[in-house]
Amino acid sequence: MWLDEIEIPNCYYGRASKFVDWRCAIAAMTGISLRYVTVERPVSLGPAPAPQRLPFIEAEMAPESGVALTPLQRLGAWEALPPDPLLILLVLTLPGGTIRYRFAGAMAERLGEMTELMYGIDDGTWGSLDLGRFTAAIRAGLRRIAAGEKDSLIQGGFEPGGWWILPGIDCD
C-alpha cells in the first residue's frame, strides 16, 4: 500500500508525489535541509477490512539544520511561528498533518516573496512540475484557509485501498 493522493481542503487536491516534489524545491530555496521518508505507522480506523497500518510521508531534518521537531509539530501543532513560516508547511506529515488557519496567512505571505523566483527557475529540473504556477496555487489555497478561519486536515488516498479518514489532532 502506498500514499497516492492527498487532499488539503481549500488548498490542494492531487498526487502526493507532486506535492512532495514541490516541498523539496521550497526547502532548497529556503535553505532548510531535509528529506522525505515513508514510514509505516499503526492506525485505528476500525475493524477489518480497515487497514491496521498505513504509510505516511515524514520530513527527516538534516543534523546540521539544528532543528529538532516534536511529533506534534510534525502534525501542525506549533505554539508560535518559527523564523521561517514555511518550515511548518515543509515538515507536515502526509496525511494527518493540519494546516492551522492562524499560521496560513504568514505561510502565504512568505510564498508570495518566492513566487516570482519560482517562475524564473522552473527549468525542468523538478520534472513536470511547474514551480511558479504550483507555488501560486498553494499560496492562494493558504489564503483561503486563513480567510475561512478553519484548520485544514490533510487526508490521503492509498493504493490499493482507497481513502481513509484520519482523525487529526486537537491543535488548541
Q: What is the pLDDT of residue 24?
A: 93
- In this prediction, residue 160 has a pLDDT band, given cuts at 50, 70 and 90, of confident
Q: Give yes or no for residue 128 having a pLDDT over 70.
A: no
* pLDDT single digits (tens) 134-150: 999 999 999 999 999 99
pLDDT in tens, 4-37: 999 999 999 999 999 999 999 999 999 999 999 9
* Rounded percentage of the chain residues whose pLDDT exceeds 70: 94
- What is the per-residue pLDDT across 39-49, written as a single tens digit (0 to 9) for each? 999 988 777 77
Average confidence (pLDDT) over 114-137: 76
Sign of CA dihedral 132, 83, 154, 151: negative
Residue of 50, 61, 111 whose CA lies nearest to 91? 61
What's the pTM value of the predicted model, to 2 decimals?
Answer: 0.91
Over residues 143-162, mean pLDDT: 94
Confidence of residue 163 (pLDDT cuts 50, 70, 90): confident
Instruction: Report the candidate in 60, 56, 29 with the shortest Cα–Cα distance to residue 134.
Output: 29
Short-list 55, 1, 58, CA closest to 35:
58
The alpha carbon torsion through 82, 88, 93, 94 (nearest 10 deg) reads 180
Residue 165 pLDDT greater than 90, yes or no: no
Every domain of the chain and the residues it spans = 2-164
Task: Calculate mean pLDDT across residues 106-123.
Answer: 85
Residue 132's pLDDT is 86
